Amino acid sequence: MVEETPWQQALRYANRANPYPFYEELRRTPVARQPDGTYVVSTYQEIVALLHDPRVSSDVRKLPVPVAPPAEGSAEAEPITEAVVSLEPNIITQDPPEHDRDRRMMTPHFVGPPHSPHLISDLEPEIRRIVDGLLDNMQGKTRIDAVDEFAYPLPVTVICKVLGVPLEDESRFHGWIETALDSLDFGPEAASEEMQSRLAGGRQAVEEFGQFAAELLDRYAQQPGPGMLSAMVNEDGPEAGMSKGVLVSNALLLIFAGHETTVNLIAHSVLTLLRHPDALEKLRRRPELIVPGVEELLRFESSVQFWHTRSAVEDIDIAGTTIPKGAPIFLAYGSANRDPKRFANPDELDLERRDNQHLGFSQGIHFCFGAPLARLEVQVAVGEFVRRVENPRLVEDPPPYRHNQIFRGPRHLLVDIDGIRD
């Protein structure tokens, strides 16, 4: 049997809790060709260069399909992108000029100064109220699950409000998202029988989720309601609206991304602080450090560990390697954020780190659309957790992790506590 590459090892479920030693090995070859023809880029400088390189496409339709040739002796691997390809492109899987136009249409309904500069900041009281409620509910308990009782409910409630998705449908789409996420695997375990059967389930979930979003959008088309989805459907700007398929696809993206990444970020922030009592104590004493602190937490445990839809549209010479035209490119943000050539002592948590331009939200034209909302949510949630939870202790370290490698995070996070302050 051929020895696995550091990247393949990093992707094994057994290493989900700590992929960093494998990333360290991976960075010795900043642009590493994998046996399946994918080029994994793991160093900060090179990732930034490619994020700004107009010869790199983000459009899944430009990926050679299937991405992975079947491993020898295994059942034929399904193309990893098929579940995504069956949908119309959304802003994350589009290139300019379509990307620019669609993102430009969505922005005013979300963050876009000068159109609605206060939309996000106006949510703060609501976010505080939700966080307070969640912490109040923990009163009298000695053990909590920081994922189920804290990290998860906040972003879900907020994204439903922002988008105008009925909160009572939450359990349905939560199920679809979880099934879809658990079905995606980019590592050596993808060819296993179990993953193959999960993949079918995942495709089914995406299908149903799409159906759900389409019906919701239809309802808003007939009768406008609150939130961003309704605004997008009833777009009356100077540019022609998006096609139905693109709308559905972007709606899924927003629900999904608003749902998962922030959960992992809050959970990882709690986990990381509990592992670093000095940092936790510092943040308790100096609450104003929450702003740079969240940036450091984003760097330390990136919510999006890598991204997988990019490919080279031309031959690209980089770091002594030529990425050939047509090759898929994986950008490993989680590794770049621990690149010692960019960050001094990258494995140390430093809430006051200067010059902390991490890639936790990526860079370039695909910079995270939801970043302002995510930042606010995590600042409030983690800040209040630190302030109010008395003597929190990890029950299990490492905690159990979710299967997905891109949206990496604890599935549960049990914490023993002495109480909740007012």
Partner 1 sequence: MTVPATVAELVREFRANGRIVIVGASLAGLRAAEALREEGFTGSLTIIGDEPYEPYDRPPLSKQVLKGWVSADHTKLPRLREVNAQWRLGVAATGLDRAAKQVRLADGEQIPYDRLLIATGTRARQWPNPDEAALDGVYTLRSRDDAAQLQKALAAPPSRVMVIGAGFIGSEVASVCRELDLPVTVVERGSAPLVGALGGVIGEIAAEMQRDHGVDLRCGLGVSSLEGDSGGHVRRAHLSDGTTIDADVVVASLGSIRNVEWLEDAGLASGFWGVGCDAGGRAFDVNGVITDSIYVAGDVARAPHVLYEYQFLAMEHWDNAVLGAEVAAHNMVNLEPHYRPHLLLPGFWSGQFGVNIKSVGVPPFGDEIVFTQGSVKERHFAAAYGRRGRIVAAVTFDHGKWLEYYGKLIEHSGPFPPPPPGWDQPPDMKPIPAEFPQPGVPTAIPDVVLTGHDPSERRAEFRSRPR
Residues binding partner 1 (CB under 8 A): 48-49, 51-57, 59, 95-97, 100, 312-314, 363-365, 367
Q: How far is the CB of 68 from partner 1 (least distance, A)?
A: 22
In this structure, is the dihedral angle defined by the CA atoms of residues 323, 356, 371 and 383, taken in order, positive or negative? positive
Least distance in angstroms from the C-beta of 126 to partner 1: 26
Closer to partner 1 at the Cβ: 67 or 213? 67
- Report whether 68 contacts 43 (CB < 8 A): no
Q: Least separation, in Å, of the C-beta of 95 and partner 1?
A: 4
- Of the pair 97, 140, the CB lying nearest partner 1 is at 97
Angle, alpha carbons 70-71-73 (nearest 5°): 105
The b-or-e profile of 61-73 (16+ CB within 10 A means b, else e) is ebbeeebbeeeee
Minimum distance, C-beta of residue 254 to partner 1, in the bound complex (Å): 21
Smaller CB distance to partner 1: residue 47 or 130? Answer: 47
Shortest Å distance, C-beta 99 to partner 1 = 9
Choice between 56 and 106, CB closer to partner 1: 56
Q: Which residue's CB is nearer to partner 1, number 88 or number 95?
A: 95
- From the list 92, 36, 22, the residue with the least C-alpha distance to 364 is 92
**CB-nearer residue toward partner 1: 50 or 205:** 50
Kindly state the smallest distance separating residue 315's Cβ from partner 1, in Å: 9
Q: Note whether 293 and 286 are within 8 A (CB).
A: no
The b/e string for 281-310 (b: 16+ C-beta within 10 A; e otherwise) is ebbeeeeebbeebbbbbbbbbbbbbbbbbb
Closest distance of CB 364 from partner 1, Å: 5
Task: Please say which residue, 101 or 174, places its beta carbon nearer to partner 1.
Answer: 101
Q: DSSP string spanning 90-101?
A: -GGG--TTHHHH
Closer residue to partner 1 (CB): 314 or 347: 314
- The upper half-sphere exposure of residue 301, i.e. CA atoms within 13 Å in the direction of its Cβ, equals 25
Integer Cα distance of 214 and 212 in angstroms: 5
**C-beta closer to partner 1: residue 96 or 400:** 96
Which CB, 115 or 129, lies closer to partner 1?
115
CB 227 within 8 A of CB 163: yes
Token reading at 334: 């989680």
Identify each DSSP E strand in 16-122 by its residue range: 31-33, 39-41, 56-57
Residue 355, sorted as left (phi over 0), alpha (psi -120 to 50) or beta, turns out to be: left
How many Cα neighbours within 13 Å face the side chain of 114? Answer: 0
Under DSSP, is residue 277 helix (H, G, I), strand (E, B) or coil? helix
Report in angstroms how near the CB of residue 305 gets to partner 1 at its nearest.
23
Closest separation between CB of residue 367 and partner 1, Å?
8
**Phi, psi values for residue 347, rounded to 5°:** -85, 0
CB of 51 to partner 1, least distance (A): 8
Q: Which residues contact 129 (CB under 8 A, 6 or more apart)?
A: none
